[in-house]
Amino acid sequence: MPPETDDTPAPTNRLAIIALLTAILGLALLAIGFAVAALVQLRRRAERGRSLAIAALALSTAWLVAGAVLLAATAEDENAPPEGPRASALSESGCFGGFRQAGTKIFANAVPCAAPHEGEVVAKLYLAEFPGDARSAAEVEKACRARAASLYAGRSSDEFALFTDRPDEEDWRRGEHAATCLLRYTDGPKSVPLNELPKALSELAAGDCVGKWSGSGFVYLVDCGKRHEVQVFARITPKGDDYPDEARAYVLCADQARRVFGQNPPEHLRMRYAGPDELAWARGERFVACLITSKKGLLTHSMLPN
């Protein structure tokens, strides 16, 4: 009789099985560790599982390569500049949304000023030299602030922040020699430009121009280059607690007019004043706004001397 043989198959190495399972689950580093340990054991034991351990190694390597590629792509996307139109494509006095910044470049979408928007373009500056160093950049910002002077004078400066979209060296070589001055609202979107928002009489400042005067306590400012009814030439905080009656208010404004104009207001202008009533004065609204209007027709430019 032939000798008896043991037909029982050799067992499969448990570490090889665990290695493949962890590799399938994407636990690449664990899978590699189990696979290497399984291969070491298989050299000393009469077990199966070498192909499982090698498959676990191959799959884990694939996971690691895929992760590295994804990480590189993500880093590239984070370093890439935002996509979309440059703020330099916006028109002067236009409004924008979708504000995004990358270095000296601003990206934004044109939005109708009657729709909710994040800010507005106050000026476009055409530059004689490349604004590449800190001094040139500061000069651009200073020029933008000067172009927005009426808004800074007429409103609280914490209502908006100034940004400039400037050409970089590559833009400059392509012939893009303009900077765009943008004001971005700090208190959320608005549906009208800043100079069309109503302003309380207590907020009026010297230089403000009012399209049409209103006795409601709120007025609408306009650009002084447009037709307007009233311009503020001075704002006074009277001394003392006594309420300034009409006669005293006129004396105070006449004194300011001589300081501003070097004399009484020109003959074609009429002086007026605005201020709180006695109740508002008692509540702490202590001001007198000195105004000028035209004796005939509307004003068409600022009456204040440069």
DSSP string, the chain: -PPP---PPPPBPHHHHHHHHHHHTT-HHHHHHHHHHHHHHHHHSS-B-HHHHHHHHHHHHHHHHHHHHHHHHHHHHHHSPPPS-BGGGSPTT-EEEEEEEETTEEEEEEE-TTS-BSEEEEEEEE-SS---SHHHHHHHHHHHHHHTHHHHHHS-GGGEEEEEE---HHHHHTT--EEEEEEEESS--BSS-GGGSEEEGGG--TT-EESS--TTSEEEB--TTS-BSEEEEEEE--SSSS---HHHHHHHHHHHHHHHHSSSPPTTEEEEEE---HHHHHTT---EEEEEEESSS-B-S--S--
Residue 4 inside a domain? The answer is no
Residue 223 inside a domain? The answer is yes
Residue 174 inside a domain? The answer is yes
At 1 the pLDDT is 47
> Based on the domain organization, do 217 and 175 belong to the same domain?
no
At 79 the pLDDT is 52
pTM of the predicted model as reported, rounded to 2 decimal places = 0.48
Residue 270 inside a domain? The answer is yes
Q: Give the domain range for residue 92.
A: 87-185
Domain count, the chain: 3
| Mean pLDDT, 10 residues at a time, the chain of 306 residues | 59 82 83 82 80 84 85 61 76 91 87 91 89 81 86 75 89 89 91 80 87 82 87 91 91 91 82 90 90 92 86
At 26 the pLDDT is 80
Residue 95 inside a domain? The answer is yes
At 100 the pLDDT is 92
At 250 the pLDDT is 92
> Based on the domain organization, do 108 and 181 belong to the same domain?
yes
